[in-house]
Chains A and B, each alone.
Chain A
Amino acid sequence: MKNYQVDTNGYYGEYGGAYIPEMLYPNVNQLQYTYLNIIQSEKFKKEFEDLLKNYVGRPTPLYYAKRLSAYYKTNIYLKREDLCHTGAHKINNALGQILLAKNLNKKRIIAETGAGQHGVATATACALMGMECDIFMGAKDIQRQAPNVERMKMMGARVVPVHSGSKTLKDATNEAIRDWINNPSNTHYIIGSVVGPHPYPDMVARFQSVISAEVKKQLDTNPDYIIACIGGGSNAMGIFYHYLNDAVKLIGVEAAGHGTETNMSAATLALGTKGVLHAAFSKVMQTKDGQVIEPHSISAGLDYPGIGPQHAFLEDEGRVMYDSVTDKEALIAAKLLSKTEGIIPALESAHALAYLEKLAFKDSDNIVINLSGRGDKDLETYTKFDQNEY
């Protein structure tokens, strides 16, 4: 069995590591040394599983999408992460990390957010646990994901607007890291995806792996394909996790924005080169001088110039196939799912759905798509698209 998981030094092949300034060393080092013991303890597992079941509403259904399957003449199953409490897979990780933070006696939580789903999930976890919560969000994202901002505030979180750089997810992450540097002892940083310094990519993947653990139980035989969208890569890692050593074709779909041939894209594996972003060595969209490029995607949750180091590794190993779809293709796919199944997907998840247009499948194939989130937050964008404003 090939090992696709992190090694003892925090690397996936050459990718990963912890390229942190000394100011973060005590916190990150503490996580590195304690996370496995904590999350593998019986007490932790019991608490986490209880929350996933009774609070999040897991297991989420694996729904056979009959009309969509008929449309594409194949068999399509949707893993309904959109039905999680708060409307996306992000809550799985937020709850796992907040339990960890409690174990480490932290009093305050910070997080970055793009689409606002991770911010909402973190604000929710903080309300549940009675912890102080600051969410960093790019000023541009605050505008395009306004409903989520209100949700976070209602649950008592502070939403800190970030005005630097592209005013999106990358800059929100920078600002969260800076806050952690300034508040080293009482604060835990709940990173929202499989990015950041070791042990975050592995820790977040473990918390999200519940998705594929459930799919394994829900299907009698392995599917032919599993498809997920990729921002940082956490919903994809979650649904790939228990299938890495099985004969299943795994496909990660990045956001091409206006197209990978334009300079308005967020398809990191397609356009990036090796480098360090947010303290991990992975693929990064950057100039030849190493300045990080401001990405573009209509989907705030995918508008990120980096990608989790494990995905960079899985691509090099040839284990996962990565491709991308454009803003427009995602919008069309969102409309199609809404009309055929009565499910409005998040713009992020719509990228995974859009890949059905590109996939050469057989009638008999079974395809699982990770429907990572619901689309309420994107209604304004969808409405504009309907009125041909996009």
Chain B
Amino acid sequence: MNIKSLFETKAEKLLNIYITAGFPKLNSLEQIIPALSNAGTDIIEIGIPYSDPISDGPTIQMSNAQAINNGITLEAIFNQLEKIEVNTPLVLMGYFNSILQFGIKEFCKQCKNVGVSGLIIPDLPIDVYLKKYQSTFVENELSNIFLITPETSEERIQFIDRHSSSFIFAVSSSSTTGNSKNIEDSQEYLQGLKEMNLNTSILVGFNIRNRSNYEFVSQYASGAIIGSAFIKHINNSQDIIDDVSNFVKNIK
């Protein structure tokens, strides 16, 4: 399913799980994606491993390094995704340099070809996107997903809202991924966001580890994004399909 269609039909208590491609094994996506989908994950976010992930904390850094060591490439990710058939919307997350080297046009074409409908590129600034890449994204039915943080001004949030088409990724606190800050400390921020009544749905990510965090943010937004906690859970897994299902079932 296209990510936009998902938000047209359902926009509450959505669970988005992030997994680094090529982790823990080179071909793990082929098991993890169907398992996530079967267990009821609403959105699957696939990370493109990068040598210098500046927005990420130690856990996702580790998964990136291990995946690169396993030999993952963007080309391999597309080849793997082509073989996987799921109805759950797929989003690719990656740093701009990986996509730039692949070629933006070719990247977008491949995304469409393998059924990816959303992109998160944290270090592609919105003004550069609007000027240079928006038309290519739109042509390939790709929804670009922007981040906002507790430091983002209201004016800028409104601007980002106007240019969003599926959801906005609200970072729960000013931090890199995998922080151990208390999600309850973000209450005021999340309440404020809710009261802005944006056109675009919001999913909250960073510092979300378990069911109670997920339930908590779902009071204010359309759902939650979990990354580092999931990566930790499947690191050294003996039975990956089982562990993936357990993780999701413990959340929702």
Chain A residue at minimal CB-CB distance from B58: A164
Out of B52, B55, B148, B174, name the residue touching A292 (CB < 8 Å). Answer: B52
Chain A residue at minimal CB-CB distance from B73: A289
Verify A21–B174 contact, CB threshold 8 A: no
Verify A178–B101 contact, CB threshold 8 A: no
Q: How far is the CB of B79 from chain A (nearest CB, A)?
A: 14
Please name all residues of chain B whose beta carbon is closer than 8 Å to the beta carbon of A17 when the two chains form the complex. Answer: 125, 128
Chain A residue at minimal CB-CB distance from B149: A23
**Contact indicator per residue, chain A 6-43, by CB within 8 Å of chain B (1) or not (0):** 00000000000111111101100000000000000000
Out of A177, A274, A278, A290, name the residue touching B50 (CB < 8 Å). Answer: A290
**Contact indicator per residue, chain B 131-166, by CB within 8 Å of chain A (1) or not (0):** 000000000000000111101110010000000000
Verify A178–B97 contact, CB threshold 8 A: no
Chain B residue at minimal CB-CB distance from A165: B51
Out of B96, B128, B152, name the residue touching A22 (CB < 8 Å). Answer: B152
Total interface residues in chain A, CB < 8 Å: 33
Whether B63 sits at the interface, judged by CB under 8 Å, is no
A47-69, CB < 8 A from B: none
**Contact indicator per residue, chain A 278-320, by CB within 8 Å of chain B (1) or not (0):** 1100001010111110000000000000000000000000000
- Interface locus among A84-92, A180-188, A345-353: A180-188
Given contact pairs A164-B61, A291-B68, A22 touches B148 in the complex (Cβ within 8 A): yes
Please name all residues of chain A whose beta carbon is closer than 8 Å to the beta carbon of B57 when the two chains form the complex. Answer: 178
Chain A residue at minimal CB-CB distance from B49: A291
**Contact indicator per residue, chain B 49-84, by CB within 8 Å of chain A (1) or not (0):** 011101111000100010010000111000000000
| A binding-site residues for B, Cβ under 8 Å | 17-23, 25-26, 164-165, 170, 174, 177-178, 181-185, 274-279, 284, 286, 288-292
Please name all residues of chain B whose beta carbon is closer than 8 Å to the beta carbon of A18 when the two chains form the complex. Answer: 125
- The dominant DSSP class at the B interface is loop
Query: With contacts defined as CB atoms under 8 Å apart, how many contacts are there between chain A and chain B in the complex?
Result: 105
- Excluding A18-B125, A181-B54, 7 further A-B contacts by CB distance (< 8 Å) are A22-B147, A23-B147, A25-B125, A164-B61, A174-B52, A289-B74, A290-B101
Verify A21–B147 contact, CB threshold 8 A: yes
Please name all residues of chain B whose beta carbon is closer than 8 Å to the beta carbon of A289 when the two chains form the complex. Answer: 73-75, 98, 101-102
Given contact pairs A275-B100, A277-B97, A290-B102, A19 touches B125 in the complex (Cβ within 8 A): yes
Verify B97–A276 contact, CB threshold 8 A: yes
| B binding-site residues for A, Cβ under 8 Å | 50-52, 54-57, 61, 65, 68, 73-75, 95-102, 122-125, 128, 146-149, 151-153, 156, 171, 174-176, 179
Verify A182–B97 contact, CB threshold 8 A: no
Verify A22–B50 contact, CB threshold 8 A: no
Q: How far is the CB of B194 from chain A (nearest CB, A)?
A: 19
Given contact pairs A164-B61, A289-B98, A182 touches B123 in the complex (Cβ within 8 A): no
Given contact pairs A182-B174, A289-B101, A26 touches B96 in the complex (Cβ within 8 A): no
Write 27 A-B pairs (CB below 8 A) sorted by A numbering.
A17-B125, A18-B125, A21-B147, A22-B152, A23-B171, A26-B153, A165-B52, A178-B54, A178-B57, A178-B176, A182-B176, A184-B174, A185-B151, A275-B100, A275-B101, A276-B100, A278-B52, A278-B54, A286-B101, A289-B75, A289-B98, A289-B102, A290-B98, A290-B100, A291-B50, A291-B68, A292-B51
Report the Cα distance A21→B123, complex, angstroms. Answer: 4
Q: How far is the CB of B158 from chain A (nearest CB, A)?
A: 15
Report the Cα distance A58→B186, complex, angstroms. Answer: 49
Q: How far is the CB of A74 from chain B (nearest CB, A)?
A: 42
Please name all residues of chain B whose beta carbon is closer than 8 Å to the beta carbon of A276 when the two chains form the complex. Answer: 95-97, 100, 123
Please name all residues of chain A whose beta carbon is closer than 8 Å to the beta carbon of B149 when the two chains form the complex. Answer: 22-23, 25, 184
Please name all residues of chain A whose beta carbon is closer than 8 Å to the beta carbon of B100 when the two chains form the complex. Answer: 274-276, 290
Chain A residue at minimal CB-CB distance from B128: A17
Report the Cα distance A275→B51, complex, angstroms. Answer: 13
Q: How far is the CB of A59 from chain B (nearest CB, A)?
A: 38
Report the Cα distance A184→B75, complex, angstroms. Answer: 36
Given contact pairs A164-B61, A276-B123, A289-B74, A22 touches B54 in the complex (Cβ within 8 A): no
Q: Which 9 A-B pairs have the closest CB atoms?
A: A290-B101, A22-B147, A21-B122, A291-B51, A276-B97, A292-B51, A21-B55, A290-B98, A26-B151
Chain A residue at minimal CB-CB distance from B131: A9
Verify B55–A23 contact, CB threshold 8 A: yes
Chain B residue at minimal CB-CB distance from A9: B127
Report the Cα distance A18→B126, complex, angstroms. Answer: 11
Verify A21–B175 contact, CB threshold 8 A: no
Q: How far is the CB of A184 from chain B (nearest CB, A)?
A: 5
Please name all residues of chain A whose beta carbon is closer than 8 Å to the beta carbon of B55 when the two chains form the complex. Answer: 21, 23, 178, 181
Please name all residues of chain A whose beta carbon is closer than 8 Å to the beta carbon of B156 when the two chains form the complex. Answer: 25
Please name all residues of chain B whose beta carbon is closer than 8 Å to the beta carbon of A274 when the two chains form the complex. Answer: 100
Report the Cα distance A278→B151, complex, angstroms. Answer: 21
